Chains A and B, each alone.
Chain A
Amino acid sequence: MLLSLNWLREFVHYEGDGAELGRRLTMAGLEMEGISRPYAALKSIVTGHVLECARHPEADKLAVCRVDVGSEVLDIVCGAPNVAAGQKVAVVKAGSALPSGLVIKKTKLRGVPSNGMICSESELGLSEEHDGILVLPGAVKIGLPLTEALKLDDEILDISITPNRGDCLSVLGLAREAAAILGLPLHLPVFSRRVDGLEADGELSVAIPDPDLCPLYHGLLIENVKSAPSPGWLRYRLNAVGVRPISNLVDVTNYVMLELGQPLHAFDLEKIRGEICVRAADAGEIFTTLDGKQRVLNSSDITIRDERGVICLGGIMGGLNSEITDTTSKVFLESAIFNPANIRKSARRLNLHSEASFRFERGVDQGGATFALERAAHLMAIVADGHVRPGLIKNEARPLRRKRIRLRMGFTQERLGVSIQSSFYEKTLRSLGCSMDDASGDLRFGENNPSAQWDVTPPSHRQDLRREIDLVEEVIRIYGVDRIPAQLPNITRILDDAGRPLSKTAFQSRVKHWARGVSLNEIITYSFVGHRELEILDIPVAKSIRIMNPLSDDLDVLRPHLVPGLLNALRNNLAQNAPSVRLFETAATFAADETSETGAKEEARLGIILHGARQSDLWPHSPGDLDYLDLKGLIEHLLQSLLLPEANFVTAQGDSYPWLSPAVDIILAGDKIGFAGRVKTGIADRYLTRKDAWTAEINLDILHSLHKKSKILFQSLPTFPPARRDITFISPLGLRADAILESIARMRSPLAVEARLIDCYEPQGTNERNLTFRFTFRRADRTLKDAEADKQRDLIVETVQKTLGVRV
C-alpha cells in the first residue's frame, strides 16, 4: 500500500518525517518497505507568469513568450497550442533539467532566442497529458518551486499490509494506526453535504435475497455531472500513489477507495432498468465486463442486476452495459459490502484482480460504507459540476453484529511474560477504537491487579479482532513487542520418551556422515523432475505423482528415483571438467499410493553416483577409474558401518532399471534394499560422461528398521592359532565367484572359519579365470595339526570340483 504522507497529515497532524513514521509503523506490525519522493525531480521547476505571447515571425506553430519567473523575465519560444498571455505556467529555466534528466539549454529557435521551456504535464511526469502546457490556477504565486505551489512536496511510504489488516488498506486506516501509535487525535474529512432535487430512494430500490453474499448495498444519485479530466490536485495525488487518472467520475471513486478503503462503483443511471437485485449468478450465465471480455459466470459470483440481467460483477468489475461514459449525466454510485470468500473465488477464477477485489477479499468496513458513499458523491458533485439527490438508496440486509470479548489481565500477562499497567490497556484499546467496559466486578482493587478484566467491543473496521488473544496482541503491539524481556523456558522432559530408538533424522544424519567419511560429496537436488527427463531415462511416468500447477514442464513430476538429480549434478561437474566425481544425496522419492493419507508413498533413499578417476589424478596416487567394485565396496562398507549382515548382489531380472546395464539388485536378509549399476551408454552420453557412470540407490527406511534391531555382541578372542590354506580354482568365466563360496558353505565344515578371495587372475586368450581363496581353519579347544588343515583343504577341493566342475 502506497501512502502519501501529505494525505495522511489531513487525518493526523503528524509533524515528523516519513522515515520516522515508517519506523514507528514497522514496529507496530505495518512494515515499511521503502520511501519515495515521486515529484522530487521537479525541484528545479518554477512557476511563471506569461506576460506576453506573440506568434513567431518565422513559424506559425511557435509562439514567442516573455515569462516572469520572479527573479527575472525570460524569453521562451513555446510550441504548445494552448499557450496564452496571462497564464500561470511551469517553467524550466535554461541550465535546469526536466524529471526525465533532459537539461534545457539556451538556444535559438528559427532565429529567436529561448532561455527555458514551458512544460506540459507529461514533461513534468505528472500525467500522460502532452497536448498542451500545464496551466496553473491564477492564484499561484510566481517564482515558487512548482512542488511548493502545487503542494507536491510529498513522501510516499510503501507499507506492507498483512492479510489480516484489510482495515489498513486506506489512508484512513493507516491514519488510525498512526494516531494510536503517536497518541495524536484523528480527524475525519469534513465536506459539505449540500443536496438538490427530488428524494432518490423512491426512484431505485435494492433487493438482496442472500445477505451472506452482500450484507449491505447502498447508493446515491448524482445528477447533471459532466465527465471531464479531474482537477490537478486530484490527478497528481492519484498519480503519486500509482493510480492512473482517467476522468473525474472514475477518479473520485478511486480517490475515496484509497482514502477510506471502501471500493465504489459508478453506474450510468440511465442504463439501469427497474429494480436492482444483488444475488449469485446463474451457472453458465454470460456477462460482458467493461474490458469488453465475455465472462462465463457460476453460482459463486456475485452479480448486480436490473430487470434485464447482470449489470455488474459485484466487487470485481462493472459491465459494458451500464458503464459511465463521456456523455453520462446521471450517476448511480454504489457502496456495498460483499462476501470476501466469494470475491476471492471469482477474482481467482476469472483472473480479475483489482484494487477493489483485493480490499473486499480482506474485508471492508461495513460501518464505514455510508460515510465513504457520501464523501464520494459530494466530491463527485464538486469535481463534475453536478448535484447529489437527497435520500440514500439503501439495503443493509444484515446489520453488523459487534462482538463483546472478555479480556483478562492475568491471562494477558501470562501470555506476554510482561506486566503492563491496566490504564495502558484501556488507553490503548480505546485509541484503537474499541469500547471498554470494566468487568472486574468485586475482583478488582488496585491499578495492577491481574484480576482486572474488561468486556471489549472492537470497532466495526477491526474484523480481525475476534478473540481475547487478538486483543492481547493489540496491547503488546502498541506497548512495543521489543520491550518483552528474554527468559529461557524450563522445558518439561517426559520420562516415557526416554530410550527410544534412533530417529529417522538422526539415522539419515549418520548415513550422511558415513558418506562424507568415504569421500562422497553431498548434493541437494529438486524433488521434482521433468516428465521428459524420465522418458529419456526410460522410467515409466505412469505411477509417478504429477504436480497440478508446475512452475514449468521441467519440474512437473515428483521423482520416483534419485537418478535424474544425480545425473544432472554429474553433468554440471563434468561441464567444469571435474576429473573425479563422487556424489551422494539422501532424499525422498515419491510413488503413488492410494492407501496413504496423502496419496503418496515417500521413501528415504541414499543415491550414489561415481564417475572418473578413483583417486586424485595427481602424484603419488595410482591411476585407475571408478568401477563397479568401488560402488559395491562403498555399499558393503555402509552395511558394515551400520552393523548389518552382508548383502547379496545379484543381476537384476528383466528390465527393472531400464537406465542401467548391467543392473544389480541388492538383497539383505531377504529384503531388496536397493540397486546398483552402470548408466547405459546412450543415456549417459546426454550427461556429458566420458567414462562409465556407476550409480546406486539404497532404501534408507529399510536400513533404518534393520539397524534398529542390530546390536554389537562381543565375542571372546580365539585362544588357539589358526591354520591357513590357499586354493586356486580355475573356473569358467560365467561362474559367479560366490558360487564357489556357497558350495563350500554348504559343506558346513566345523573347522572352517573364513574364506576370502585373495587373487583373481584372467590369463589372456582363455575363457577361464584363476580364483585364489585363502581358507582359515581353527579349533576352539586346541591348536590344529597341519594334517588336519590339509585334510580340510583336500575336502574342499574335492567338493568344489565335484559340484561345480572347476579345476584346481
Chain B
Amino acid sequence: MNLIAELEKLVSDLSGDLSKVASLVMLDDLQTVYLGRKGKLAGLMGRLPEVASAERPAFGKAANAAKEQMGGMFEERRKSYQAAAADRDLARFDPSLPGRMPGRGALHPITLVMEEICHILNNLGFETISGPEVETDFNNFQALNFPLDHPARDMQDTLFINEGIVMRTHTSPMQVRAMLEKKKPPLAVIAPGKVYRRDSDLTHSPMFHQIEGLLVDEKVSLAHLRGTLTFFLRELFGPEVKVRFRPSFFPFTEPSLEVDMSCILCRGTGAREVGRGRKEPCRVCKSSGWLEILGSGMVHPAVFTAVGFSPECSGFAFGLGVERVAMLKYGIDDLRMFFENDLRFLKQFS
C-alpha cells in the first residue's frame, strides 16, 4: 500500500475511532495519537524518504489535506462537545439561588432626616455649623433672654453640670456662638445637634436632636420666615403641605410663632378614609388637621444686644425636633425605638 493510500486509511480509521470517543479527555488523547508530534500522521510523514522524489509533492499535498481534514474532524467533534457542555451548564443554571450579597450597612433614621433637612437648608444658602453639647448658662440661657430666676426657664427642664454650666437644652446657643464669632450681620446658619432635658417618659427622651436656623440680614421679616419654612416643609414632606402660623412665646424671639403643618396622614382634613367611604378621626393630628412642627420667630433685640449686635438688626430664628420629623416621615410611633438600636429597626433604613 502506498503512503497516500495509508493517509486515506488514517482518515477513515480516525472516523471510526472518533465514533468510540466518549469524552473531551478521550478526544484530546485521540488527537495526540493521530496528530501529535509522535502521532500516526507524523509517523507517515517520517516515511517520506520512501517516496519517489517525483511523487513527493503529491504526497506532501495529500498529507496536508489529510491533516487539515482530520483537524477539522477533531474541531467539529470538540465543538459539539463544548456545545453539549454549555447545554448542560445552562440546564444546571439556577437564577433563583440567593446572591452573594456584600454586607449592607445602615444610617440611623435620625441621621437620614438630619442630613435631608440640612441639605434642603444648605441649598437655600444656610451654612451648617456645630458646637459643644456642654454649654455655659450664658450661651444657653442668659444671652437668649432667659434671665436668672425667670419662669421662662421652667419651659426647659435642665441638666446641670454646676451652677454656671449646663447640658444644652436646645440648639439655640449656637445662635449666640454664631453671632459672637461673625461679629456682624449678615449670617445664615443652621446648627444640627444633640440636646438634653431632664425629662424621660413615653414621649420625652433625656437626649434628643434639634436643628436650629438663624438668618440675620437687612430688612428680614416674618414673611421671609414663612417663605423659608414653607419651602423647607414642602421639600421635606411634599408640595401639598400647608403651613399655619400661631403666636407663641420663646424668650429669644419676638414675635414668637409656632409653626403647624397640615397633617401628612389625613392631608389636613382631620379624618381618614378607612374604606367604603367610612372615615375615622385621624390619630396623628388628633383630628385637628394640623401638626406642630417648628418653633420660630423674629430674633429678640435683647439677643442682638447680648452678642454685641445692634438691637435694630433684623433676623429670624427657628428650631425643630428631629425625632418628631423622623416619626412623621417614617411612621414611627414610639420615641424609644430611636435609642434602643435594635438592628431589626436600624436595618429598615439602610
- How many Å from the CB of A470 to the closest CB on chain B? 6
Stretch from A57-65, A106-114, A149-157, A615-623 forming part of the interface with B: A615-623
* Interchain CB contact under 8 A, B343 and A521: yes
Q: Is B282 in contact with chain A by the CB < 8 A criterion?
A: no
CB-CB nearest in chain B for A493: B125
* Interchain CB contact under 8 A, A476 and B222: yes
* Interchain CB contact under 8 A, B339 and A506: no
C-alpha spacing A615/B199, complex, angstroms? 40
Contacts A516-B107, A518-B103; is A492 near B346 (CB within 8 Å)?
no
Which residue from B104, B148, B162, B244 sits with its C-beta under 8 Å from A482? B244
Which residues of chain B are near A549, meaning CB under 8 Å? 159-160, 198
Contacts A415-B221, A487-B223, A516-B107; is A551 near B151 (CB within 8 Å)?
no
Q: Is B58 in contact with chain A by the CB < 8 A criterion?
A: no
Residue of B151, B231, B245 with most partner-chain A CB within 10 A:
B151
C-alpha spacing A469/B297, complex, angstroms? 12
Which residues of chain A are near B98, meaning CB under 8 Å? 618-620
Stretch from A120-128, A218-226, A381-389, A524-532 forming part of the interface with B: A524-532
- How many Å from the CB of A578 to the closest CB on chain B? 5
Q: Is A72 in contact with chain B by the CB < 8 A criterion?
A: no
Which residue from A27, A340, A415, A576 sits with its C-beta under 8 Å from B343? A576
Q: CB-defined interface of B149-189 with A at 8 Å, one 1/0 digit per residue?
A: 11110110001111001010000000000000000001010
* Interchain CB contact under 8 A, B196 and A29: no
A-facing residues in B110-145 (Cβ within 8 Å): 110-111, 115, 118, 124-130, 132-136
Stretch from A1-9, A73-81, A158-166, A689-697 forming part of the interface with B: A158-166
Q: Is A489 in contact with chain B by the CB < 8 A criterion?
A: yes
**How many chain B residues touch A (Cβ–Cβ < 8 Å)?**
91
Contacts A31-B248, A489-B220; is A505 near B130 (CB within 8 Å)?
yes
CB-CB nearest in chain A for B160: A548
Q: Is A650 in contact with chain B by the CB < 8 A criterion?
A: no
B-facing residues in A159-182 (Cβ within 8 Å): 162-165
Contacts A164-B152, A527-B133; is A418 near B159 (CB within 8 Å)?
no
* Interchain CB contact under 8 A, A484 and B245: yes
C-alpha spacing A502/B130, complex, angstroms? 12
> A-B pairs with CB below 8 Å: how many?
253
Q: Is A417 in contact with chain B by the CB < 8 A criterion?
A: yes
Which residue from A341, A491, A545, A583 sits with its C-beta under 8 Å from B150? A341
CB-CB nearest in chain B for A508: B130
* Interchain CB contact under 8 A, B341 and A29: no
C-alpha spacing A522/B129, complex, angstroms? 22
* Interchain CB contact under 8 A, A361 and B151: yes
Stretch from A284-292, A593-601, A796-804 forming part of the interface with B: A593-601
Which residue from B215, B245, B344, B346 sits with its C-beta under 8 Å from A481? B245
Which residue from A481, A548, A576, A581 sits with its C-beta under 8 Å from B246? A481
Q: Is B308 in contact with chain A by the CB < 8 A criterion?
A: no
* Interchain CB contact under 8 A, B247 and A569: no
* Interchain CB contact under 8 A, A547 and B102: no
* Interchain CB contact under 8 A, A526 and B246: no
C-alpha spacing A492/B258, complex, angstroms? 26
* Interchain CB contact under 8 A, B227 and A486: yes
C-alpha spacing A549/B162, complex, angstroms? 9
Q: Is B97 in contact with chain A by the CB < 8 A criterion?
A: yes
B-facing residues in A494-521 (Cβ within 8 Å): 494, 497, 503-506, 509, 512-513, 515-521
A-facing residues in B228-277 (Cβ within 8 Å): 228, 230-231, 243-249, 251, 254-258
* Interchain CB contact under 8 A, A588 and B159: no
Which residues of chain B are near A583, meaning CB under 8 Å? 341
* Interchain CB contact under 8 A, B246 and A27: yes
Which residue from B103, B136, B255 sits with its C-beta under 8 Å from A476? B255
* Interchain CB contact under 8 A, A497 and B150: no
C-alpha spacing A341/B134, complex, angstroms? 26
Which residues of chain B are near A415, meaning CB under 8 Å? 221-222, 298, 314
* Interchain CB contact under 8 A, B150 and A163: yes
Which residues of chain A are near B124, meaning CB under 8 Å? 488, 491
Contacts A470-B254, A551-B200; is A572 near B151 (CB within 8 Å)?
no
Q: Is B55 in contact with chain A by the CB < 8 A criterion?
A: no
B-facing residues in A309-356 (Cβ within 8 Å): 340-341, 344-345
Residue of B248, B314, B350 with most partner-chain A CB within 10 A:
B248
Q: Is B226 in contact with chain A by the CB < 8 A criterion?
A: yes
Which residue from B103, B108, B255 sits with its C-beta under 8 Å from A522? B108
Which residues of chain B are near A518, meaning CB under 8 Å? 103, 105
* Interchain CB contact under 8 A, A488 and B246: no
* Interchain CB contact under 8 A, B298 and A469: yes
- How many Å from the CB of A80 to the closest CB on chain B? 43
Q: CB-defined interface of A544-559 with B at 8 Å, one 1/0 digit per residue?
A: 0111111100010010
Q: Is A455 in contact with chain B by the CB < 8 A criterion?
A: no
C-alpha spacing A183/B17, complex, angstroms? 115
* Interchain CB contact under 8 A, B100 and A517: no
Q: Is A751 in contact with chain B by the CB < 8 A criterion?
A: no
Which residue from B198, B199, B231 sits with its C-beta under 8 Å from A488? B231
Q: Is A472 in contact with chain B by the CB < 8 A criterion?
A: yes
Q: Which 10 A-B pairs have the closest CB atoms?
A: A519-B103, A417-B223, A417-B221, A29-B247, A491-B125, A162-B249, A473-B255, A489-B224, A523-B341, A516-B105
Residues of A near any B CB (own CB < 8 A): 26-29, 31, 162-165, 340-341, 344-345, 361-362, 414-418, 467, 469-470, 472-473, 476-477, 481-482, 484-489, 491-494, 497, 503-506, 509, 512-513, 515-528, 545-551, 555, 558, 569, 572-573, 576, 578, 581-583, 587-588, 590, 597-600, 602, 615-616, 618-621
18 pairs of residues in contact across A and B, judged by CB atoms under 8 Å: A340-B151, A345-B149, A470-B254, A486-B230, A491-B125, A492-B217, A509-B111, A512-B111, A523-B346, A547-B161, A549-B198, A551-B159, A551-B198, A551-B200, A572-B342, A573-B342, A598-B165, A620-B98
Residues of B near any A CB (own CB < 8 A): 97-98, 100-108, 110-111, 115, 118, 124-130, 132-136, 147-152, 154-155, 159-162, 165, 167, 186, 188, 192, 194, 196, 198-200, 206-207, 215, 217, 219-224, 226-228, 230-231, 243-249, 251, 254-258, 298, 300-301, 314, 338-344, 346-347, 350
Task: Known pairs A512-B107, A598-B161; list 13 more (Cβ under 8 Å).
Answer: A163-B249, A472-B255, A473-B255, A485-B226, A486-B226, A513-B107, A519-B102, A523-B346, A524-B338, A547-B167, A590-B134, A600-B165, A620-B98
